[in-house]
Amino acid sequence: MNERGILIVVSGFSGAGKGTLMKRLLEKYEERYALSVSATTRQPREGECDGIEYFFKTKEEFEKMIAKEELIEYARYVENYYGTPRAYVEQMLEAGKDVILEIEIQGALKVKKAFPDTLLLFVVPPSAEELKHRLVGRGTESMEVIESRLKRAVEESDGMEQYDYLIVNDDLEICVEEMHQIICGEHHRSSRNMGFIQQMKEELKDLKGE
Ligand code: 5GP
């Protein structure tokens, strides 16, 4: 079956729990997945380290990366730039890992356009009320930023149907397993296994000719 990894985009409203979900998925199946680390111009939150959560860049540094085509995609989100460095993604796919990009919707649609076999997953909280509760509970952002993220969620909800699968993040462990199973299923899609199909056809013809 196919040996090249699948490019997977995971989006979801800010506060839907994508970060925790990704962390658990990678802990549980570390051999299978590679998580791309994005570049951003936003300030690090408390506890975030350069090169782990993000590569933190100045606006000038980020614009240089754009000019040198070092990013697969980039977008502006709540006054900052965010983008996906190209080199790591290509290396990991080649090495057979499924590469996960945790990015917002504008970036997701750009990636899908450039690489149509990208799998698009959208993580949602069980309800809108729960989303607000989680954003406030996180305690890392001002009320103003929380309001702008909720406003952004309204805009992003317009694009939900363009994703291949929705994943409801209620119970973390169940959610991790659902996501893993969806990705496993995706590896069996016939269009991703054209080499195998071709080989099977040829072998069957050879058998018939024997
Ligand atoms: P946060 O500031 O909460 O870490 O991220 C804000 C939003 O930017 C999230 O929706 C996150 O998924 C998205 N994001 C993170 N990295 C990238 C990226 O490389 N490209 C794009 N388009 N969005 C990103």
Give domain limits for the chain.
7-208
pLDDT, tens only, 130-189: 998 888 887 777 888 889 889 989 999 999 999 999 999 999 999 999 999 999 999 999
Rounded CA gap, 187 and 15, in Å?
Answer: 29
Mutate to test the pocket of ligand 1, among 104, 150, 152 (most ligand atoms within 8 A of CB): 104
Rounded CA gap, 71 and 75, in Å?
Answer: 11
Q: What are phi and psi of 11, to 5 degrees?
A: -120, 175
Rounded CA gap, 108 and 10, in Å?
Answer: 8
Q: Is the pLDDT of residue 80 over 80?
A: yes
Mutate to test the pocket of ligand 1, among 22, 81, 102 (most ligand atoms within 8 A of CB): 102
CA-nearest residue for atom 3, ligand 1, is 14
pLDDT of residue 142: 86
Average pLDDT in the chain: 93
Contact 119, 184 (CB under 8 A): no
Question: In CATH terms, is domain 7-208 a member of 3.40.50.300?
Answer: yes
H or E element in which residue 10 lies: strand 7-12
Q: Is 38 in the pocket of ligand 1 (CB under 6 A)?
A: yes
Q: Name which of 154, 59, 162 is nearest 107 in CA terms.
A: 162
CA 1 to chain centre: 23
- Residue 19, classed as helix, strand or coil, is helix
